[in-house]
């Protein structure tokens, strides 16, 4: 049985708008843009990894009289999303959607800034192998070109659950994130080649996470990313 004294989430996300090679996977960008790295690939599937970093959230006890209270607050009771969230709740009683979203927001900023800083160590612990390999390749290419990124995470405008599904014992949750960032890429001579240090850019991303509800490990892993139209 999963511990009711700990709600931990690990989110491995593919969301950094500051490097043009990843834009087709990360989401829709507005302002100072270049063509996507791979226009034929709008979705990336990834297996789970064995990273053990977690984001620990405050414990929230279930309402004994209404264990679906949070679910009803964020999803219309008669909707398919609500029904599927209830199935996940039944399979993993410790699951609470609001805590899940808080963890997603925390992880989003962590991954964005780690990518901007070229922090592979942090990324390796937070990303599935396939997603990490893509990020690492982009960072290597950036380093080879002598480019650096100057970034500032302004904040998240909205983050919400858009889809949920229980596939056997695997729970899948999809979130939509709209955030604001400031970013500029400089070449080896210090000249800005992408972005603007004075312009706030809106970023839109959709991520899908999954976990095996039979496992004691409460960590969620990235399994797919796609751009939001």
Cβ contacts of 70 within 8 Å, gap of 6 or more: 96, 97, 98
Task: Give tens-digit pLDDT for 46-66.
Answer: 444 444 444 444 444 545 678
Task: Give tens-digit pLDDT for 156-197.
Answer: 999 999 999 999 999 999 999 999 999 999 999 999 999 999
Output the CA torsion sign for 33, 35, 39, 44. Answer: negative
Output the CA torsion sign for 28, 29, 33, 38. Answer: negative
Task: Give tens-digit pLDDT for 72-103.
Answer: 999 999 999 999 999 999 999 999 999 999 98
Range of 16-20, 29-33, 92-96, 217-221 with top mean pLDDT:
92-96
Taking the C-alpha atoms of residue 165 and residue 171, their distance in angstroms, rounded to an integer, is 6
Taking the C-alpha atoms of residue 223 and residue 200, their distance in angstroms, rounded to an integer, is 29
What is the value of pTM for the model shown?
0.69
Q: In this structure, are residues 149 and 187 in contact, taking their beta carbons and an 8 Å threshold?
A: no
Burial 209-228 (b: 16+ CB within 10 A, else e): bbbbbeeeebbbbbbbbbbe
Q: In order of start, what are the domains of the chain with their CATH numbers? A: 7-227 (3.10.450.240)
Q: Which two structure tokens, joined as six digits, stand for 35? A: 């063509």
- Statement: residue 222 has pLDDT above 50: yes
């Amino acid at each position: 049985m999963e511990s009711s004294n700990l709600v931990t989430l690990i989110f491995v996300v593919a969301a950094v708008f500051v490097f043009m090679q990843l834009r087709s996977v990360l989401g829709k960008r507005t302002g100072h843009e270049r063509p996507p790295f791979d226009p034929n690939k709008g979705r990336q599937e990834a297996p789970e990894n064995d990273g053990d970093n977690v984001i620990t959230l405050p414990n929230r006890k279930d309402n004994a009289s209404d264990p679906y209270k949070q679910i009803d607050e964020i999803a219309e009771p008669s909707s398919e999303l609500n029904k599927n969230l209830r199935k996940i709740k039944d399979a993993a009683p410790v699951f609470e959607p609001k805590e899940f979203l808080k963890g997603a927001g925390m992880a989003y900023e962590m991954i964005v800034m780690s990518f901007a800083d070229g922090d592979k160590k942090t990324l390796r612990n937070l990303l599935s192998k396939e997603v990490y390999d893509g990020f690492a390749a982009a960072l290597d290419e950036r380093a080879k070109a002598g480019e650096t990124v100057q970034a500032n995470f302004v904040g998240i405008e909205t983050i919400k659950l858009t889809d949920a599904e229980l596939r056997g014992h695997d729970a899948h949750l999809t979130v939509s994130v709209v955030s604001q960032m400031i970013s500029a890429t400089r070449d080896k001579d210090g000249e800005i080649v992408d972005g603007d240090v004075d312009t706030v850019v809106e970023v839109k991303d959709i991520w899908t996470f999954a976990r095996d509800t039979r496992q004691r490990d409460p960590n969620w892993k990235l399994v797919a990313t796609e751009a939001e139209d």
